[in-house]
A and B are shown apart, each in its own frame.
Chain A
Amino acid sequence: EAGVTQFPSHSVIEKGQTVTLRCDPISGHDNLYWYRRVMGKEIKFLLHFVKESKQDESGMPNNRFLAERTGGTYSTLKVQPAELEDSGVYFCASSLRRGATNEKLFFGSGTQLSVL
């Protein structure tokens, strides 16, 4: 069974450009999460989808970030326009059901974003 897949693995862009990150969760997983790690610091929650609906987007830093999950399958995270402080590793994770204490969260290997 395929795991959580993220594209691209690395992206280097200039300040002011637009970048779109993609996440394919494990098939059948309703819950999809975005996290990011900036400058080697803490990994921070960005948002949570349940199917196609945004359940919690309290971690989104500002309106330059737009996440979508059309059809409740894969998700995209667009940064427009990108700023230097957006550099970091963006992780996607998925899980089957929400809330159960035995629920396992599966992470992708991340997208390393560098804004120059």
Chain B
Amino acid sequence: GNSVTQMEGPVTLSEEAFLTINCTYTATGYPSLFWYVQYPGEGLQLLLKATKADDKGSNKGFEATYRKETTSFHLEKGSVQVSDSAVYFCALSDLFSGGYNKLIFGAGTRLAVHP
């Protein structure tokens, strides 16, 4: 079945450091891929998405590229800020096995950025 694996946290970085959070997936169909973020005390928010191979999603300085050959969707940011501290979830959905909003999530990666 479909699944998502992401790197375990917590990830602790200094402000302005480079961020990578790895995400790989297993899917039988043609999934759409997502990164969601949960800031402290808030709900999940869509950070970025990609719906087909080689697409790059980007938002707020974050980006991720849909790599079909490596079944990956790694999240990157060139210079993190303290305000980026949150839990990041990689997710996929497959229109043919549940629908676009029936998401399969990874376990989440907590990011802590220090001044």
Contacts and interface: CB of A to CB of B under 8 A. Distances in A.
What size tier do the contact residues of chain A reach? 20 to 34
B105 A104 contact: no
Nearest to B9: A40
Interface string B1-22: 0001000000000000000000
Contacts of A37: 108
A46 to B, nearest CB: 10
Interface string B61-73: 0000000000000
Main secondary structure, interface of B, reads strand
What size tier do the contact residues of chain B reach? 20 to 34
A91 B43 contact: yes
Interface string B85-103: 0000101000100111111
Contacts of B103: 35, 43, 45, 105
Given A40-B107, A99-B95, A93 B51 contact: no
Interface of A: 3-4, 31, 33, 35, 37, 40-45, 48, 56, 91, 93, 95, 98-101, 103-110
Q: Which 6 A-B pairs have the closest CB atoms?
A: A107-B44, A43-B105, A107-B43, A109-B43, A105-B101, A42-B107
